[in-house]
Amino acid sequence: MTSSAPSSPSPAAFSVRPVLPIVLENAVVRLEPLEARHREALLALGEDERVWGIVQLPAGGLPAYLDLAYAWAAPNVHVPFVVVRRSDDAVIGMSRMFDIRPEHGALEIGYTWYAPEAHGTLINPAAKRLLLGYAFDLGFERVQLKTDLRNKQSQAAMAKLGATREGVLRHQLRLPDGRWRDSVFFSILADEWPAVREGLDARLSRGLSQAHPEGGAPEHPAGLTKA
């Protein structure tokens, strides 16, 4: 008589709502799902070499990069957003929600880039406030961010958001020029989100108050609106 090995228990079902390409908006930015109408503005924005720094675009440059973004876009799979500055409705960058694993309550925010004029402003924290709030409102447990180990600016921005630095995966990605990239991973968990959210909201409120010293700053600058 032979006995079979005991089967491994299935993980408990994790209930999250799907990540959909919807408009997210606060007092600083509006995140619009990537559409064909955005292409020319993004191409113009990406002509500035300062946008990319050490980031290597695929063969074919920015047009090929955008072609992949359009091709990969799918609800609850790969959801790219165009970042629009509310003050003048200018397209100012991009970010995406991807590597979406509903069964594990996990996703990643990345492929983020901005015009140089947005660096060091409220644009990135405002956009991250919307994306993180959307993810955790949907019921996700973990939001991951990663960057090149050489990209000290991105690492500092992730730490300033309140994300936890988890460590480095060596040779995690093969770059277009054939070199290996070591990637630094950060994350925010659902039970950490309230404190991270409070810090982001305070940061945005301070920034907006400084921009409107005589009053007129929105009462709830980081409030999430979905359309």
Q: Which of 5-9, 93-97, 115-119 has the lowest mean pLDDT?
A: 5-9
Token pair in block for residue 58: 């695929």
> Which is nearest to 109 in space by CA: 158, 76, 140, 143?
143
Pick 37 or 223 by higher pLDDT.
37
pLDDT in tens, 168-226: 999 999 988 889 999 999 999 999 999 999 999 999 999 998 876 665 555 555 554 45
User: Angle at CA 186, nearest 5°, toward 124 and 128?
Assistant: 20
Question: What percentage of the chain carries pLDDT values higher than 70?
Answer: 87
What pLDDT score does 211 carry? 75
Spell out a b/e string for 141-157, using b for 16 or more CB atoms within 10 Å of the CB, else e.
bbbbbbbbeebeebbeb
Burial class (CB in 10 A: 0-12, 13-18, 19+), 6: exposed
Query: What is the C-alpha separation between 156 and 131, in angstroms, rounded?
Result: 19
Query: What is the C-alpha separation between 42 and 46, in angstroms, rounded?
Result: 6
Per-residue pLDDT band at 227 (split at 50, 70, 90): very low
Residues facing 142 on adjacent strands: 106, 189
What pLDDT score does 15 carry? 87
pLDDT in tens, 136-178: 999 999 999 999 999 999 999 999 999 999 999 999 999 888 8
What pLDDT score does 171 carry? 97
Q: What is the pTM of this model?
A: 0.89
Q: Which of 23-32, 64-73, 160-169, 171-180 has the lowest mean pLDDT?
A: 171-180
Token pair in block for residue 214: 């005589």
Query: What is the C-alpha separation between 91 and 37, in angstroms, rounded?
Result: 11
